[in-house]
Amino acid sequence: MPLTLRPLPGGLGAEVDCDLSQPRELPLAPELANALAHHRLLVFPQQHLNHADLHAVSAYFGTVDTDVDRRYAVAGFPGITCVSNIVEDGGHVGIYDGDDEEEWHADNSFKPELTRATLLYSVITPEQGGQTRFADATRAYAELPPELKEQIEGLRACHSIQQLGTLQAQASGGTSSAAAGSLAGQPEAQHPLVLTHPVTGARSLLLGPMVIRGIVGMTAEESSSLLSKLTEHTTSPPYIYSHPWCQGDLVVWDNLATLHTASPCDSARHHRLLYRASVR
């Protein structure tokens, strides 16, 4: 049977009726990958997935990335990591960077090979806060003024995990995230400011204030001004979808076409537990 897709309000993403725990859904894998390319974000509500299911579904969208933080990896399932604010025996059970709002970013843009898509599956959902917000970097690029499109054509930006660690340390009084610390030796990567999607041919902005050190060939002031202008435009209300998590939600997003950020969640009052996988 064909997929049932319901576009989400605002034009970014679609909700999918599909029980991903059932083997009969496997023939739908090409349709799911095509739906992601064209809708840029897919929401699968009311799923009941074990780690094997999540690993199998991740492979529908590409090659599962096993280069993850081993401290929070799920044993026996390379590429699946735990994301949580739960503390046990004095330590976090999963990757967690704090209760504050994150900066807008595309996952792992500091790596030479860009992450194609990310999957996030919710097991414990906070009663308040913790939404994930997504920005439609494809439509945002399409609606840039022509002169700005001309200005940024062909430009490349330097993405640096060291930049992320430095800015996080400055913001938190000397402490960077666990991810930034574990990847401190990752060399700087250069990526186009404007990506061309390999499936749709659509063009999108690749941004990330905490990760981009600067634009090649520009002074620090010129780079900062241009990046701020592009980020403000891309993350303005017309391009935003905010996902209010429910237990059993699986959200898949195209990292070549969107940006995202986490909303604040009071970890002292509200627990959250999710499992994440990325594909190349």
Tokens 């993350």 locate to 235
Mean pLDDT of 34-61: 96
Helix (H, G, I), strand (E, B) or coil at 245: coil
Q: What local confidence, expressed as pLDDT, does residue 163 receive? A: 81
In this prediction, residue 176 carries a pLDDT of 41
Tell me how far CA of residue 160 lies from CA of 103, 184, 186, in angstroms.
15, 9, 8
Separation CA 17–CA 23 (nearest Å): 15
Which range marks the domain in which residue 19 is found? 4-279
| pLDDT at residue 185, rounded to an integer | 65
Cβ 245 vs Cβ 132: under 8 Å: yes
Predicted model pTM: 0.91
Nearest C-alpha neighbor of 49 from the set 119, 121, 118: 121
The mean pLDDT value of the chain amounts to 89
Quick one: pLDDT band at residue 181, thresholds 50, 70, 90? very low
DSSP symbol at 2 = -
CA 24 – CA 115 distance, rounded (Å): 28
The whole-number average pLDDT for the span 144-173 is 83
Please give the share of the chain, as a percent, with pLDDT higher than 90.
71
CATH number of the domain that 107 lies in?
3.60.130.10
> What does the alpha-carbon distance between residue 25 and residue 34 come to, in Å, rounded to a whole number?
15
Beta strands 14-17 and 41-44 are parallel
Mean per-residue pLDDT, 75-82: 96
Task: Find residue 17's DSSP bridge partners.
Answer: 4
**Beta-strand runs (E) in the chain:** 4-7, 14-17, 41-44, 81-84, 87-88, 91-92, 117-124, 132-136, 156-159, 189-192, 194-196, 203-205, 212-215, 240-243, 250-254, 258-262, 273-279
DSSP 46: S
Q: Report the pLDDT value the prediction gives residue 180, as an integer from 0 to 100.
A: 46
CA distance 58 to 113: 17
Percentage of the chain beyond pLDDT 70 is 88
Q: What domain count does the chain have?
A: 1
Q: Residue 262 has which token pair?
A: 């986490």
Which of 88-92, 116-120, 177-181 has the highest mean predicted lDDT (pLDDT)?
A: 116-120
Query: How many angstroms separate the CA atoms of 82 and 96, rounded?
Result: 9
Which has the minimum average pLDDT: 90-94, 251-255, 264-268?
A: 264-268
CB atoms inside a 10 Å sphere around CB 106: 27
Over range 69-89, report the average pLDDT.
91
Tell me: pLDDT of 108 over 70.
yes
The residue behind tokens 């029980």 is 19
DSSP string of 75-136? TTSTT-EEEE--EETTEESSB---SSPPPPB-TTTTSSSPP-EEEEEEEE--SS---EEEEE
Q: Name which residue leads in pLDDT, 97 or 225.
A: 225
- pLDDT at residue 25 in the model: 56
Query: What's the longest Cα–Cα distance across the chain?
Result: 56
Q: Which of 31-45, 127-141, 154-168 has the lowest mean pLDDT?
A: 154-168
222 pLDDT band, cuts 50/70/90, is: very high
96 band by pLDDT with thresholds 50, 70 and 90: confident
